[in-house]
Structure 1
C-alpha cells in the first residue's frame, strides 16, 4: 500500500483485496487505508461473507470491529451468519448481531435518561430560584411529565432507527449453493 497499491482494486469476480485477506492484521491495514468493509463481489458477497464461509474468526472479528454489515445479503439472500461454516464463527456473528441490535437501545436509553435528568434539573433550578412559581404538587407533576415526554421521544427515535432483523431462511437452492461452495474453490 505504501507503494501505491489500490485497496479498491477488483478482479474479474469483483473481489477486492479485503475479500481475499486471510489475516486480521491485513484487514486492519486495508481498512486503515480506506478499503470498503461492505464491498460486494459479483455474487453480492462482502468480505464478512467470505470470512464466515472460510471459518476465519479473526478476520470476521476485525471486519465487524471495522463496521462490516452483519445483515448484508448476497444474491441468494444469505447473510454471513447463514454462510458460517464453523460454529465459533456462527456464534461470534450471532453475538455481534445481538450487540448491533442492542446498541441503539442502549444509546437511546442513556441519552433519554440524561435528557430527562437535565430537563428535571433545569425545571428544579427554575422553580427553586423563583423563575417558575408553582405549588409543590404541580412541580412534581411537571417533572414527571417532562421525563415521560423525553423518554417517549427517545423510544420513538429508537423505533425509527432500529435495525431490521435479518432473515435466516434457507431454501433448497441456497443449501445446495452452500454445499457446493465448500467443495469448489473460492469464486
Structure 2
C-alpha cells in the first residue's frame, strides 16, 4: 500500500535502488546528527546535569533531615509517653496512699468520736445517777419527815395525849423510822 502512494506522488522508483537499506540514513546525516548529539550532550553534561544533581542533593538532604527530625520527634514522643506513664503510675500510687490514709484517718476519727460519745454518755449517765441519788435522798428525807409527822399525829391520837416535847417526838420518829428501815430492808 505504501508503494502505491509513493508512486502516485511521483517519486522515482530508481531512488529506492540507490540506497539498499532504507533504515540507515545517509553518511552526512549521521555525521551532523552525531555532532549535534555531542554538542547537546556536552551542554547537558556541563549545565543541566550539575543543576539536576544539586536539586536531587537538596531534596535528599531535606528528606534525610525530615527523617531525622521525625525520628527525633518520635524519640521525644516516646520519652514524653514514658514520663507520662511514670507520672501516671506515681499519681495512682499516691492516690492509693491518700485513700488509705484517708480511710485510716476516717476510722481514727470515728473511733475518737465513738470514745468521746461514750465518755459523754458515761458522764451524762453518772450525772443522771448522781441527780437521781440526790433526788431520791431528798424524796426519802421528805417522806421521813412526813411519815414522822404523820406517825406522831397518829401516836397522839392513839395515846390520847400530846407529844409536845420535841426531843420525845424526834426520838419516837427516829425509832419508828429505824424500825421501818429494818422491815423494808428485810432484816
For Structure 1 versus Structure 2, the TM-score category normalised by the shorter chain is under 0.3
- Of the two structures, which has the highest relative contact order with CA contacts closer than 8 Å and spacing of 6 or more? 1
Q: TM-score, normalised by structure 1?
A: 0.28
